[in-house]
C-alpha cells in the first residue's frame, strides 16, 4: 500500500477553484514530482496536504492514518514535513536552534523539567545538540551552527530548510521549489542531496520544481497540474510527450 | 557534502528518544547544578537586606525595591511580548489582580487570625534591625509568600481565561483584548466596597464580604508592609532565572519560533496556540507576584489606577527598549526607566513624552530594541558590536 | 416604555458616534493591516481643538451667544487641523515602517498615541484640568414623548454623524479615489503595479480617518460638554469601544464599522439601563470576547486567507 494517499482533494477560494480532485499515491521511498505552470495550484496542494488550508472535499492519508482534519502541527507529528517556496526560517534564531525547534515533537521533557533543570531536561538538551549537530554536519552547515539563520547565504538557507524539515523525523518530505534561485553547480549538488536524504532516512519525497532538468533527472513519477486539475501522471518520459502537458506549458497549437 | 557524517547518521539511530534515554547522568551533580542558582539568589537576597540596605539608606533602598518590582514586571512581559511576539497591553491588569488578591489574603488573614492587620514579619521583611530580640523571619514571612503565590495563581487563571479566546487568532487581537481587560479590572475594582477595618466587622461580613471589601475607588489602604529588599531581590532573581531557563529550553525555543514565523513553527510541529497561551499564563503569574510585592511596599496605596493602561504602557516601554526577547535587556531597561526620572528633573517633567519619542525612534532606527533576543552575556552580541565597529572603520578606508 | 425609548435614543446617538470613530480604525486596518492606536488620540485632539476654536472665536467676536453657523465653522476647523495632524503622523512615523513587521508598527502606533496624550497635557497646550466647551447650540427640545426628550443636540449630533458616514460611503464606493482605496486595501502591491499611487492613497486614508475622528471629537464635546485631559483613561475606553465596534462589524469593512458602532452603542446603553450602569464598560468587552470566539471575522467581515 502507498505511504501517502490523497483522494479527490479540492479547495476553492471564493469563486476560484484552486485545486479540484487532486489525487496522488506516493509509495515508501518514492521520489515524485509535482509540476505545472505558474498558478496551477501546486503550492496550494502542499498547503492542503500539510493542513495550512482545510480541503473542502477529499481525504489525505499517511501510512493509513487520516490527516484531513488535523491541524498543521499534528500533521507534522504524523510524519509529513515540508519546506516553503519563499524560505521561512526562524531568522533571529541560530542555525542549530532552527533544527532544535523542529525536534519539538520528539521532546518529552517540557516546561517543568526545564524550569527545575531536571536530569531529563539535561539529557534532552544533550541529545538535541548531538542530533542537530550531526544533521548540520551532513548538510555542511556545522561551521555556521551558531550564526543567526537570516545571515546565511541563500543556498545555505535552502539547505537549512531541508535539514529542518528532516529534523522533525518525517516519513514524507515535501519540498517546495528547492532549486529556485540556485546556480547550475548548486542545482547539481541539490540533486545529490535529495537522493542522499531519501536513501539515508528512508523517506518518500514529493517535490515541486520548475527546473525541468532537476525534475526529469530526479523524479520517478511526475504529476502535472493545470488550473487546479491533474492533467497527467506518469514516468518522466511519458509525461514529457503528453500532448496535454505540452499544451499547458506552450499553449494550444495554432489551428 | 560530508560523507562520513552521512554514514554515521545512517548507521546510528536518528530517533531522539533513544538518544535521550541513552545518556543518563548521575543524579547528584544535576541536583546541585539545578539548585545552585537558587541558593545564590537567596544568598544575594539576604545580603541585599542585611548589607545593601544600610549602605543605600532609606531613599535609595526604597528606589531599589521599586526597581526590583519593575524588573519582575518587565521580565514577565518579555515572555509574552518578547519570546512569542504576541502583544499584551494589559499587564497592569494582572499586576492589580495579584496585588489585590494577595493583599486581601494578608490583610484579612492578619485581621481575623491575629487581631490586627499590622505586619508580623522578621528582620528580612524590613522590620528595623534594632528591634530587640527580633527573629530573622516572623509568622508574617510565611503568610506573605503564600499570599504572593495565591495572587500569582489567581492572576495566571485569569490569564488563561483571557488568553484562550484571543490567542487562537493571528494578528493584533490580543493587544486590544488585553488593553480592555486591564480597563475592566480597573472598573471592577472601583466597584468594590470599603475595606473592613476591625476583626469583628470582617468576621461578620464573611468570606464574600472580605473578598469584595477592597477599598473601591479610594484604594486598598492599610495592607501590612512586608515588601523588603530581601523579598524583592529574591523574586526578581527567581523570575529572571525561570525566564532564562524557559528561554533556553524546548518550550522557549518553541515560543521564539512562533514569534519568528507562526506558519513555519506550526509546520515544524509546534502547537502554536498552546505555546502562546502558556507564555501568557506564566507572564500573568509573575505579574501577579509583582503586584503582591508592589501592594505590600511601604508608601504604596494600591488603587484601581494600578490596573490602568498607563501602568501597562510603562512596562511595555521597558520591554521594547530592552529589546523584545532579552531578559537582561528588559531588566536593564527597568532599572534605567525607573531611575532616569529620579535623577534628571527634565526627564521627570517630560517623562512620557521622552519615552514615547524613544519608542518611535527605536522602531524606526533599531527595530529589534537595544539587545534584540540576545542577552548581555551572549558572546555574539559583543562580537556583533565589535565587527560592526571594524567594518565601519574598513568602510572609511 | 419611557425607559425603553430613552435607551433607544441614547443607543442611537452614542452608537453613531462610535461608528464615526470606528470608521477611522477600520479604514486604516483595511489598508495597512494594523491597529492605529493613535486614532483615539486624534478624537481627543478634535474635541480639544473644537473647544479652543470655539473659545477663541467667541473671544474674538466679543459675544457670548454663538450664532448657529459657528458650530459648522468649529467642526470644519477641527477637521482640517486633525487631517493635517493625521497626514504628518503617517508621513513621519508610519511611512518609514512600510513593510516592517506588524509588531513594530503596532509599537510605533502606541508611541504616537503616548506622544499625543502627553504632549496635549503640557500646560502650553491643553493642560491637565478638564474644561467646558462653550454652548454652541441652544438647549431646545424638539419633541417630548412622556419623560423622553429629543433635543436639538441629539438630532444635530446623530445627523452629522450619519451625514458624514453617507458621504464616506459615497466616496468609497462611487468615486475614482474610493475605488483606488478599495484596490489598495485588497492588495497594496498589485494596486501599485496597476499604477495606483499607493502612498498618496494611504496618506489620503489617514487624512480622511483623522477628519472623521475630529468630527467624532467635536460631537463628543457637544454631547458631554466637559472635556477631560488628553491622557484620561475615559478616552482610551472610548477608543477601545470604537475599535471593538470595528471588530464586531468586521474589521476592514466600512459598512461593518457603522453597523458595529450602532450595535455597541445599543448594547452599552441597554446594559446600563437594564442591568447595571456601573458595569457598562464590561458588557462591551464581553461582546468582544464572544465575537472573537464565535465569529472572529465579525458580522460583515470575510475570513481572510493568509498566503503561504
Please write down the HEC assignment for all residues of chain B: CCHHHHHHHHHCCCCHHHHHHHCCCCHHHHHHHHHHHHHHHHHHHHHHHHHHHHHHHHHHHHHHHHHHHHHHHHHHHHHHHHHHCCCCCCHHHHHHHHHHHHHHHHHHHHHHHHCCCCCCCCHHHCCCCCCCCCCCCCCHHHHHHHHHHHHHHHHHHHHHHHHHHHHCCCCCHHHHHHHHHHHHHHHHHHCCECCCCCHHHHHHHHHHHHHHECCHHHCECCCCCCCCHHHHHHHHHHHHHHHHHHHCCHHHHHHHHHHHCHHHHHHCCCCHHHHHHHHHHHHHHHHHHHHHHHHCCCCCCECHHHHCHHHHHHHHHHHHHHCCCCHHHHHHHHHHHHHHHHHCHHHHHCHHHHHHHHHHHHHHHCCCCCCCCCCCCCHHHHHHHHHHHHHHHHHHC
For residue B395, what pLDDT is reported? 34
Contact A13 C308 (CB under 8 A): no
- Three-state DSSP state, C227: strand
Contact B173/C at CB under 8 A: yes
pLDDT at A100 over 60: yes
HSE value, Cβ hemisphere, 13 Å, CA-based, for B393: 5
Residue with cell 516572623: B138
Residue A39 confidence (pLDDT): 86
- C-alpha of C135 from chain center: 22
Joined together, the cell numbers standing for residue B284 give 500573568
**Inter-helix orientation angle C280-294/C254-274, to 10°:** 130
- What's the maximum distance between 2 C-alpha atoms anywhere in chain B? 83
Chain B residues closer than 8 Å to A120 by CB = 20
Q: How many domains does chain C have?
A: 1
Nearest CA in chain A to B27: A119
- Contacts of A among chains (3+ CB pairs under 8 A): B, C
Structural contact between residues B324 and B80, judged by C-beta atoms closer than 8 angstroms: no
B173/A3: higher pLDDT: A3
C64 touches chain A (CB under 8 A): no
pLDDT value for B13: 45
As beta bridge partners, residue A11 has A19
Please indicate if any CB of chain C lies within 8 Å of the CB of A157: no
Per-residue confidence (pLDDT) for residue A22, from 0 to 100: 95
Whether C25 has its CB under 8 Å from any CB of chain B: the answer is: no
Other beta carbons within 10 angstroms of residue B16's beta carbon come to 21
Locate the chain C residue with the closest alpha carbon to A43.
C308
| Residue of C121, C285, C301 best to disrupt the B interface, most CBs of B under 10 A | C285
Longest dimension (CA), chain C: 65
**Exposure of C27 by Cβ count < 10 A (0-12 exposed, 13-18 middle, 19+ buried)?**
buried
Give the one of A13, A43, A84 whose C-beta lies nearest to C305's C-beta.
A13
CA A131 → CA A45, A119, A142, A164, distances in Å? 31, 18, 12, 12
**Other C-beta atoms lying within 10 Å of the C-beta of residue C175:** 11
Q: Inter-chain contact A89–B261, Cβ cutoff 8 Å?
A: yes
**Nearest-Cα residue of chain A relative to residue B247:** A114
Q: What secondary structure letter does DSSP report for C97?
A: G
Which chain B residue lies closest to C99 (C-alpha atoms)? B364
Tell whether C230 is within 8 A of chain B (Cβ): no
Residue A143, sorted as left (phi over 0), alpha (psi -120 to 50) or beta, turns out to be alpha
**Integer CA distances (angstroms), B341 to B63, B349, B352, C119, C181, in order:** 11, 8, 10, 17, 44
C-alpha distance from C135 to closest chain B C-alpha (Å): 31
Tens digits of residue pLDDT in C75-118:
999 999 999 999 999 999 999 988 888 888 888 999 999 999 99
Strand A31-35 and strand A221-226: the pairing is parallel
Distances (CA, A) of C155 to B193, C50, C72, C136, C146: 39, 19, 15, 14, 18
Chains in contact with chain B (at least 3 beta-carbon pairs closer than 8 A): A, C
- The answer to whether B23 and A120 are in contact (CB under 8 A) is no
Q: Bridge-partner residues for C226, per DSSP?
A: C132
Q: For residue C95, what are the domain limits?
A: 24-232
CA nearest to B191 within chain C:
C278
Ordered mean pLDDT values, 10 residues apiece, chain B (397 residues)? 61 55 58 87 92 86 95 97 92 97 95 86 70 74 95 97 85 83 89 90 88 89 91 97 95 95 95 95 98 93 90 91 90 92 76 87 79 74 54 35
Asked if B267 lies within 8 A of A71 by C-beta distance, the reply is no
Determine the Cα–Cα distance for residues B188 and C291; give it in Å rounded to an integer: 22
Do C150 and C140 touch, CB atoms closer than 8 A? Answer: no
Residues of chain C with pLDDT under 50: none
Structure confidence at residue B76 (pLDDT) = 97
* Contacting residues for C84 by C-beta, under 8 A, at least 6 apart: C207
Chain A nearest CA to B126, separation (Å): 29
**A73 confidence band (pLDDT: 50, 70, 90):** very high
**Whether the predicted interface score ipTM is above 0.90:** yes
Q: Where are the domains of chain B?
A: 38-126+135-307
C118 CB near a chain B CB, below 8 Å? yes
Distance from CA of A52 to the nearest CA of C (A): 8
A·C CB contacts under 8 A: 6
Which residues on B lie below 8 Å from A131 (Cβ)? Answer: 14, 16, 19
Contact C220, C238 (CB under 8 A): yes
The alpha carbon of residue A136 is apart from the nearest alpha carbon of chain B, in Å, by: 9
Give the best residue of C28, C100, C114 to mutate against chain B (max B CB count within 10 A): C114
Q: Does C193 touch chain B (CB under 8 A)?
A: no
Check CB contact under 8 Å for A100 and B373. Answer: no
Tell me what pLDDT residue B387 has: 53
C60 touches chain A (CB under 8 A): no
Per-residue buried b or exposed e for B341-353, using 16+ beta carbons within 10 Å of the residue's own CB: beeeeebeebbbb
Residue written as grid cell 473644537 = C50
Q: Which residues pair with A176 in a beta bridge?
A: A208
Contact yes or no for B364 and C93 at CB 8 A: yes
Length of chain B: 397
Instruction: Tell me the three state secondary structure of residue C98.
Output: coil
**Interface contact A90, partner C, CB < 8 A:** no
Helices (H), C62-131: 70-89, 102-120
What values do phi and psi take at A11, rounded to 5? -155, 130
- Asked if the C-beta of B172 comes within 8 angstroms of chain C's C-beta atoms, the answer is yes
**Interface residue B389 vs chain C (CB under 8 A):** no
pLDDT confidence of residue A31: 95
* For A50, nearest residue in chain C (alpha carbons): C308
Give me the residue from C111, C281, C306 closest to B183, CB to CB.
Answer: C281
Domain ranges of chain A: 4-90+155-250
Architecture (CATH level 2) of domain A4-90+155-250: 3-Layer(aba) Sandwich (3.40)
Judged by CB atoms closer than 8 Å, whether chains meet at A104 and B270 is answered as: yes
B to C CB pairs, distance under 8 Å: 116
For chain C, the 3-state helix, strand and coil shares in percent, each to the nearest 5, are: 75, 5, 25
Pairing of strands A221-226, A65-66: unpaired
CA B136 to mean position of chain CA atoms: 26
Amino acid at each position: 500500500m502507498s505511504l501517502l494517499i490523497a483522494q479527490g482533494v479540492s479547495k476553492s477560494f471564493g469563486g476560484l477553484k484552486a485545486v479540484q480532485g487532486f489525487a496522488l499515491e506516493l509509495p515508501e521511498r518514492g521520489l515524485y514530482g509535482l509540476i505545472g505552470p505558474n498558478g496551477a495550484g501546486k503550492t496550494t496542494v502542499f498547503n492542503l496536504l500539510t493542513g495550512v488550508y482545510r480541503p473542502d472535499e477529499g481525504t489525505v492519508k499517511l501510512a493509513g492514518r487520516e490527516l484531513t482534519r488535523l491541524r498543521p502541527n499534528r500533521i507534522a507529528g504524523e510524519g509529513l514535513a515540508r519546506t516553503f517556496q519563499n524560505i521561512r526560517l526562524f531568522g533571529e534564531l541560530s542555525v542549530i536552534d532552527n533544527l532544535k525547534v523542529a525536534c519539538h515533537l520528539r521532546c518529552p521533557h517540557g516546561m517543568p523539567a526545564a524550569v527545575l533543570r531536571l536530569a531529563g531536561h539535561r539529557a534532552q538538551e544533550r541529545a538535541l545538540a548531538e542530533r542537530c549537530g550531526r544533521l548540520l554536519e551532513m548538510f555542511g552547515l556545522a561551521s555556521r551552527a551558531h550564526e543567526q539563520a537570516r545571515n546565511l547565504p541563500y543556498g545555505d538557507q535552502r539547505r537549512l530548510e531541508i535539514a529542518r524539515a528532516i529534523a522533525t523525523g518525517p516519513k514524507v518530505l515535501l519540498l517546495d521549489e528547492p532549486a529556485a534561485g540556485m546556480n547550475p553547480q548548486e542545482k547539481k549538488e541539490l540533486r545529490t542531496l535529495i537522493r542522499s536524504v531519501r536513501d539515508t532516512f528512508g523517506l518518500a519525497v514529493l517535490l515541486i520544481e520548475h527546473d525541468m532538468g532537476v525534475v526529469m533527472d530526479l523524479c520517478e513519477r511526475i504529476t502535472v497540474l493545470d488550473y487546479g486539475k491533474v492533467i497527467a501522471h506518469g514516468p518522466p518520459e511519458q509525461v514529457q510527450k503528453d500532448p496535454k502537458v505540452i499544451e499547458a506549458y506552450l499553449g494550444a497549437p495554432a489551428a | 557534502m560530508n560523507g562520513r557524517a552521512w554514514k554515521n547518521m545512517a548507521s546510528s539511530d536518528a530517533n531522539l528518544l533513544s538518544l535521550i534515554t541513552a545518556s543518563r547522568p548521575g543524579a547528584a551533580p544535576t541536583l546541585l547544578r539545578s539548585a545552585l542558582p537558587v541558593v545564590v539568589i537567596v544568598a544575594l537576597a539576604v545580603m541585599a537586606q542585611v548589607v545593601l540596605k544600610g549602605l543605600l539608606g532609606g531613599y535609595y533602598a526604597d528606589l531599589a525595591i521599586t526597581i526590583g518590582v519593575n524588573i519582575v514586571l518587565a521580565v514577565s512581559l518579555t515572555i509574552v511580548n518578547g519570546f512569542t511576539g504576541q502583544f499584551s497591553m494589559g499587564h497592569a491588569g494582572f499586576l492589580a489582580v495579584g496585588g489585590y488578591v494577595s493583599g486581601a489574603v494578608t490583610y484579612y488573614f492578619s485581621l481575623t487570625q491575629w487581631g490586627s492587620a499590622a505586619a508580623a514579619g522578621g528582620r528580612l521583611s524590613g522590620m528595623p534591625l534594632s528591634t530587640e530580640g527580633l527573629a530573622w523571619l516572623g509568622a508574617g514571612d510565611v503568610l506573605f509568600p503564600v499570599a504572593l503565590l495565591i495572587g500569582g495563581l489567581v492572576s495566571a487563571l485569569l490569564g488563561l481565561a483571557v488568553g484562550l479566546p484571543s490567542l487562537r487568532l493571528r494578528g493584533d487581537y490580543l493587544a486590544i483584548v488585553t488593553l480592555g481587560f486591564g480597563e475592566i479590572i480597573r472598573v471592577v475594582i472601583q466597584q468594590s466596597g470599603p475595606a473592613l477595618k476591625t476583626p469583628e466587622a470582617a468576621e461578620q461580613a464573611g468570606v464574600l464580604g472580605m473578598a469584595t471589601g477592597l477599598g473601591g475607588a479610594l484604594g486598598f489602604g492599610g495592607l501590612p508592609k512586608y515588601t523588603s529588599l530581601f523579598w524583592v531581590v529574591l523574586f526578581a532573581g527567581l523570575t529572571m532565572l525561570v525566564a532564562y531557563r524557559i528561554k533556553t529550553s524546548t518550550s522557549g525555543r518553541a515560543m521564539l519560533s512562533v514569534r519568528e514565523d507562526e506558519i513555519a513553527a506550526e509546520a515544524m510541529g509546534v502547537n502554536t496556540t498552546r505555546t502562546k497561551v502558556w507564555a501568557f499564563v506564566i507572564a500573568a503569574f509573575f505579574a501577579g507576584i509583582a503586584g503582591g510585592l508592589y501592594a505590600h511596599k511601604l508608601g504604596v496605596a494600591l488603587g484601581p489606577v494600578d490596573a490602568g493602561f498607563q501602568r501597562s504602557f510603562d512596562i511595555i516601554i521597558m520591554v521594547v527598549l530592552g529589546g523584545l526577547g532579552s531578559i537582561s535587556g528588559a531588566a536593564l531597561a527597568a532599572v534605567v526607566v525607573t531611575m532616569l526620572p529620579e535623577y534628571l528633573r527634565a526627564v521627570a517633567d517630560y517623562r512620557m513624552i521622552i519615552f514615547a519619542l524613544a519608542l518611535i525612534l527605536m522602531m524606526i532606527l533599531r527595530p529589534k530594541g537595544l539587545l534584540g533576543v540576545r542577552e548581555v552575556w551572549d558572546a555574539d552580541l559583543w562580537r556583533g558590536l565589535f565587527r560592526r565597529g571594524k567594518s565601519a572603520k574598513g568602510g572609511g578606508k | 416604555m419611557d425607559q425603553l425609548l430613552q435607551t433607544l435614543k441614547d443607543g442611537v446617538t452614542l452608537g453613531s458616534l462610535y461608528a464615526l470613530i470606528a470608521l477611522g480604525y477600520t479604514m486604516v486596518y483595511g489598508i495597512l493591516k494594523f491597529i492605529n492606536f493613535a486614532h483615539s488620540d486624534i478624537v481627543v485632539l478634535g474635541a480639544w481643538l473644537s473647544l479652543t476654536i470655539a473659545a477663541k472665536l467667541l473671544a474674538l467676536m466679543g459675544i457670548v451667544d454663538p450664532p448657529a453657523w459657528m458650530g459648522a465653522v468649529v467642526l470644519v476647523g477641527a477637521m482640517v487641523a486633525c487631517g493635517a495632524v493625521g497626514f504628518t503622523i503617517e508621513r513621519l512615523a508610519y511611512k518609514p515602517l512600510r513593510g516592517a513587521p506588524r509588531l513594530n508598527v503596532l509599537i510605533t502606533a502606541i508611541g504616537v498615541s503616548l506622544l499625543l496624550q502627553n504632549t496635549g497635557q503640557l500646560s502650553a497646550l491643553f493642560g491637565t484640568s478638564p474644561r467646558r466647551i462653550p454652548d454652541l447650540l441652544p438647549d431646545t427640545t424638539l419633541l417630548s414623548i412622556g419623560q423622553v426628550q429629543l433635543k436639538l443636540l441629539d438630532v444635530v449630533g446623530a445627523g452629522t454623524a450619519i451625514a458624514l458616514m453617507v458621504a464616506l460611503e459615497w466616496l468609497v464606493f462611487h468615486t475614482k479615489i474610493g475605488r483606488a482605496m478599495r484596490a489598495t486595501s485588497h492588495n497594496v502591491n498589485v494596486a501599485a503595479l496597476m499604477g495606483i499611487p499607493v502612498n498618496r492613497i494611504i496618506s489620503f486614508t489617514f487624512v480622511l480617518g483623522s477628519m472623521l475622528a475630529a468630527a467624532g471629537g467635536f460631537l463628543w464635546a457637544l454631547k458631554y460638554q466637559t472635556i477631560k485631559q488628553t491622557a484620561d483613561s475615559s478616552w482610551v475606553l472610548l477608543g477601545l469601544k470604537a475599535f471593538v465596534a470595528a471588530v464586531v462589524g468586521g474589521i476592514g469593512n466600512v459598512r461593518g464599522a457603522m453597523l458595529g458602532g450602532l450595535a455597541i452603542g445599543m448594547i452599552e446603553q441597554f446594559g446600563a439601563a437594564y442591568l447595571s450602569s456601573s458595569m457598562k464598560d464590561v458588557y462591551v468587552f464581553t461582546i468582544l470576547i464572544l465575537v472573537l470566539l464565535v465569529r472572529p471575522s465579525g458580522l460583515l467581515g470575510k475570513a481572510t486567507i493568509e498566503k503561504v
